[in-house]
Amino acid sequence: MNTKSNINQDEFYTIIQKEFWLKWFSKLMFTLISVKLWGLIACTWVSTYLLLCHEMVTVGNQAYELGITGAQWVTFNTTIWGLIFGMKEIFRVMDNKDRSDAKIIKEDNKTKQEIAKITASTMTPTGAFGTKSTYTADGKEVVGDEPN
């Protein structure tokens, strides 16, 4: 949840709620300043211009094609749009995976700390040879002359 805003990122809103329009406007603004959007617009505009201005030019005995054909236009645009939106989805999936992994790691660390506390609480205050235990009550190992 974003602490600087009063809008909860995990909730869904209906169209009649103010928060819906705030999130919608925010998403629109971020999309408009997105490099991906401008890249798609530029690629589509240039390829469309080259498609519309397509002509054959003969220089000497050589014929040159200025512009692109319809098949080249379709191939280029579907490739560019597919790559950009495909990468967007890949990053979205990876972000969700990273969040789940972080949650699992946090729960795993909590479990390890609880096990260490249980283990430390069952240890005697002195070791087998009359030395002090090398573990504190919260499961951390004491090394050397460290104070508990």
Q: What is the pLDDT of residues 46-62, one digit of tens each?
A: 999 999 998 888 888 99
Q: What is the pLDDT of residues 65-124, one digit of tens each?
A: 888 999 999 999 999 988 888 887 777 777 777 777 777 787 887 887 777 777 766 655
Find residue 58's DSSP bridge partners: 63
**pLDDT value at residue 1:** 43
Q: What distance lies between CA 134 and its chain's CA centroid?
A: 42
Question: What mean pLDDT value characterizes the chain?
Answer: 77
Strands (E), 22-105: 55-59, 62-66
Contact 76, 43 (CB under 8 A): yes
